[in-house]
Amino acid sequence: MTQSETGNVGSPGPLAEDEERTPTAAAEQVEERPPSPEIDISKPHIARIYDYILGGKNNYAVDREMADQVVKVFPEAPIAARINRRFLIETVRWLIQEAGVRQFLDIGSGLPTQQNVHEVAQAIDKDARVVYVDNDPLVRVHAEALLATDPNTIVLEGDLCDPQALLVRPELREHLDFSKPIALLLVAVLPFAEDNEQAYDIVRTLCNALPSGSYLAISHPLKEESTEQARAIYRRASLSGRPRTEEEIRGFFAGLTPVGCGLVRMADWTPPDRPNGLAEGDNVISMDDAAVVKKLPGMCGIARIDH
């Protein structure tokens, strides 16, 4: 993934090779009026903090202030966010190209950026269907604008922590065919279900609702000093975000069949069809970053759901 792939919808366009989109540069471009009155810009929001860390411009002063505090204690956060996006993009590519999946349920989808799930999937099969779910109303506002002309993709405001309510939503049932495999994407969202038993239950409930041959993809921060410090900053603003131990993260794959390299540290993950690494030309990380990437405190992986 190139730098330009992490720029946001509505950004001035791809960056020049040698141009850095730092959080500060992104901040200067920000329009501080919320796009609708329901958007609260007095408190930081996870989606907007993540957007800022990725170098996007759909964020507000309160989000940037918190993100800057997070980056102080966890300086690798911008690289972690890019590597996380690479995992998501490569996972979607593999699922549609190699695993034959044509339907995606992306919960905690985040603000639109470049190489969104529906774009990656529909570049391979224009009929691929995607449901985005996020509990941040700003995500819906931006995604609806982006998706206005795409009949195969919808966005729902919904809560990961209430999977039963989500699963009975008529829009979801009408858009996805629950008799055919569905890829459930829970990428960098499970930390926001802080209670372990509740989080396992959420994943079990969602996986049980999907037919055999479906897939689950997750990424999750590991509990280390830097991520715990970041969590403390979130907590002061009443935001959740729990890093977990390797064992706790492995719990999400209980009863499922890991695919390819399975659940591994972010740096070690390779798409199942590319066990020796990413394709030539995928320059998401420069050589300078390689040492940092190696130590990134996060895990990710794909598993098949067989009932």
Ligand X SMILES: C[S@@+](CC[C@H](N)C(=O)[O-])C[C@H]1O[C@@H](n2cnc3c(N)ncnc32)[C@H](O)[C@@H]1O
Assess 134 for contact with ligand X (CB under 6 A): yes
Q: Which of 83, 96, 160, 222 binds ligand X (CB under 6 A)?
A: 160
Please list the residues that pair with 105 across neighbouring strands.
Answer: 131, 184
Assess 115 for contact with ligand X (CB under 6 A): no
CA distance 179 to 233: 43
User: Which residues have C-beta within 8 Å of that of residue 202, sequence separation ≥ 6?
Assistant: 160, 161, 163, 190, 193
Q: Which of 63, 90, 119, 136 binds ligand X (CB under 6 A)?
A: 136
Tell me how far, at minimum, the Cβ of 203 lies from ligand X, in Å: 13
Assess 141 for contact with ligand X (CB under 6 A): no
Assess 209 for contact with ligand X (CB under 6 A): no
Tell me how far, at minimum, the Cβ of 224 lies from ligand X, in Å: 17
CA dihedral for 274, 280, 286, 287, sign (positive or negative): positive
User: Which CB, 159 or 307, lies closer to ligand X?
Assistant: 159
Assess 94 for contact with ligand X (CB under 6 A): no
CA distance 262 to 256: 11
**Pattern of binders to ligand X over 71-90, x per CB under 6 A?**
-------------xx--x--
Assess 184 for contact with ligand X (CB under 6 A): no
Q: β-strands 103-107, 129-134: how paired? A: parallel
Assess 224 for contact with ligand X (CB under 6 A): no
CA distance 78 to 23: 9
Q: Restricting to residues 257-286, name those near ligand X by CB under 6 A.
A: none
User: Which CB, 62 or 161, lies closer to ligand X?
Assistant: 161
Tell me how far, at minimum, the Cβ of 131 lies from ligand X, in Å: 12
Tell me how far, at minimum, the Cβ of 18 lies from ligand X, in Å: 25
Tell me how far, at minimum, the Cβ of 48 lies from ligand X, in Å: 8
User: Which CB, 46 or 154, lies closer to ligand X?
Assistant: 46
Q: Which of 94, 192, 215, 269 binds ligand X (CB under 6 A)?
A: 192
Question: Of the listed pieces 19-27, 36-44, 183-191, 269-277, which binds ligand X according to CB under 6 A?
Answer: 183-191
**Pattern of binders to ligand X over 29-58, x per CB under 6 A?**
-----------------xx--x--------
User: Which CB, 165 or 306, lies closer to ligand X?
Assistant: 165
Tell me how far, at minimum, the Cβ of 305 lies from ligand X, in Å: 19
Residues that bind ligand X (CB under 6 A): 46-47, 50, 84-85, 88, 107-110, 134-136, 139, 159-161, 187-189, 192
